[in-house]
Structure formats: C-alpha cells, structure tokens
C-alpha cells in the first residue's frame, strides 16, 4: 500500500517519518525514504479483527518506520543508549524525567538491584556492540500492538510466548522503546511537557504494564520494559521461568520489508 493510504486508515496509530526525525533524531538515507513510500500491508489486513481481542487491527496496532541511524550525517547507530543520551542532551529536565526517570530509566526489581548496578551496566555497554543498549537494526517498517496480549500477562516467558500467533513475533528492547516514545510525540506532542503538564494516559504505550523483550540480560533473564506512568519508561530484568504479575507479550507482525 502507499504510505498516504495507510496513514489515512491508521490515523494516530501511524507514526510519520517526520516524528522520527524531529523528535527522535532519526536519520534516513534517500534510498530508505524511497522504500518507505510503500508499506508491506494490505487494506484488508488492517480491517481484519485483532487475533487477541474484538478490536480491528487498524485500531490496536501501530506502524512506525524504524531507522538504522540517528543524527543527520553523523552515521551514529540508532539504539537505546542513543535515545537515553538524546533526552539528556536536550537539557529538558521535565521531558527527560518523564521518558527516562532518574536520567537512566531503570527500575529496581524484587531482587533489590541497586541504582549503582544499573549505572554500571549502562556504562559498560558503551564498548559492547552486541549489548541490548547498543544494538540497532536495519531501517524497516514495524507493525506493533499497542497493548500486551491479555492472556499472556502474569506468565513466565515460555508460557507467555505460547499465546503468540504464528504470524507474530515479540519486540526487541529498541523496538518497544522506540514505539513508546514515538507514539507519545504522535499523540501528545511536546507541548504538555513545555507547559509543565503530565503525559496524557492515552499517549502512553504499556501504561502500568511491562512487556517481555527478545533481549537477554543474562542466560536466565530477559529485559522487560514499560510501566509507562507519569514517572516515565522503565527497564528491568526478569527471570524467564518466573511469572511476572503485570508483564506480558507485545506482538509484532512479521512484515515482508524490502
């Protein structure tokens, strides 16, 4: 489908390239911008019933152009570390606080992991390309659900994944965080931040929920992300064989990107 037709059908669930460039400092080559003029979805698919609820796909999935690089002409990889640093560099304390609380955005879990531990984990990622904070992906469309599968909440990772349909996947940390931030700017914009107001609840993906990601923290744990309250986005780790009360699977459609 043409990008204009998809944008009209999805409305606020469509993330324009302009949002990614202006608010997340994404960078796209001329070739990539050309490829993004076509979306690997059909009109019929958008009007199908969601496989996990009574909603239509167009109303419960979001579509966004994932970049490979950020900052024009710098060739810096688009990754989670880059996003965290981006909001630090903006020197907009309220914006940073609400997107990544406490400047980093990590939540101590039941294992009582200290803030110093997370600070060290973040710092050590800088020289590790294959680290969840440093990983990137090739420029492509991703179609991601705005909420977790209800039946997947409160299960361990293998049990939660059993709720996922065959034509769906679950996101990386980068994909989930990118969608959360981009959707906020698409729906809420930054005017509320400048006015000192709170983020509207309907602009928060994973509001009061966490989602499993494909990224391992270690051999026994995966990173989870969400709980997108007025205090911001949180990242934590969860043992893959233990159930987590507010954590579920956020489906991504397997698109055939060019």
Whether the predicted pLDDT of 151 surpasses 50: yes
Provide DSSP, 26-72. Answer: EE--HHHHHHTTB-S--HHHHTSBPTTSSSBHHHHEEEEEE-SEEST
Contact 247, 208 (CB under 8 A): no
How many Å apart are CA 12 and CA 183, to the nearest integer? Answer: 8
pLDDT of residue 194: 45
Averaged pLDDT, 113-124 = 62
Task: Please tell me the predicted confidence (pLDDT) of residue 119.
Answer: 65
Q: What is the share, in percent, of the chain residues with pLDDT greater than 90?
A: 58
Query: pLDDT digit string (tens) for 36-49?
Result: 999 999 999 999 99
Q: What is the pLDDT of residue 101?
A: 43
Largest CA distance in the chain: 50
- Using the predicted structure, report yes or no on whether residue 174 has a pLDDT greater than 80: yes
- Enumerate the β-bridge partners of residue 239: 221
At 71 the pLDDT is 87
The pLDDT assigned to 21 comes to 95
pLDDT, residue 136, reads 93
The model's pTM is 0.87
At a CB cut-off of 8 Å and minimum separation 6, what does 146 contact?
A: 13, 60, 61, 62, 183, 205
Give the model's pLDDT for residue 201: 53
pLDDT at 117: 62
**Is the pLDDT reported for residue 103 higher than 90?**
no
The mean of the pLDDT values for the chain is 83
pLDDT, tens digit, 9 for 90 and up, residues 60-88: 999 999 999 998 878 899 998 888 777 76
Instruction: Using the predicted structure, report yes or no on whether residue 179 has a pLDDT greater than 70.
Output: yes
Residue 190 has pLDDT above 90, yes or no: no
The answer to whether 249 and 154 are in contact (CB under 8 A) is no
């Amino acid at each position: 489908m043409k990008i204009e037709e998809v944008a009209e059908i999805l409305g606020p669930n469509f993330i324009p390239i302009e949002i990614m460039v202006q608010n997340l400092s994404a960078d796209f080559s001329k070739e990539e911008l050309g490829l993004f003029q076509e979306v690997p979805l059909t009109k019929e698919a958008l009007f199908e019933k969601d496989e996990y609820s009574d909603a239509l796909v167009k109303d419960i999935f979001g579509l966004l152009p994932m970049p490979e690089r950020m900052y024009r002409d710098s060739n810096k990889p688009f990754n989670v570390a880059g996003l965290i640093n981006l909001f630090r560099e903006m020197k907009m304390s309220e914006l940073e606080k609400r997107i990544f609380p406490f400047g980093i955005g990590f939540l101590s879990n039941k294992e009582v992991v200290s803030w110093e531990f997370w600070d060290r984990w973040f710092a050590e990622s800088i020289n590790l390309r294959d680290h969840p904070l440093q990983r990137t992906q090739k420029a492509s469309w991703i179609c991601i659900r705005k909420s977790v599968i209800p039946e997947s909440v409160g299960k361990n990772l293998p049990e939660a994944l059993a709720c996922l349909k065959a034509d769906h996947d679950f996101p990386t940390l980068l994909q989930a965080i990118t969608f959360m931030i981009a959707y906020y700017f698409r729906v809420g914009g930054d005017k509320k931040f400048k006015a000192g107001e709170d983020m509207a609840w309907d602009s928060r993906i994973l509001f009061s929920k966490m989602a499993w990601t494909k990224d391992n923290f270690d051999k026994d744990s995966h990173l989870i992300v969400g709980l997108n309250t007025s205090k911001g986005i949180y990242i934590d780790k969860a043992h893959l064989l233990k159930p987590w009360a507010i954590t579920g699977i956020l489906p991504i459609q397997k698109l055939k990107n060019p």
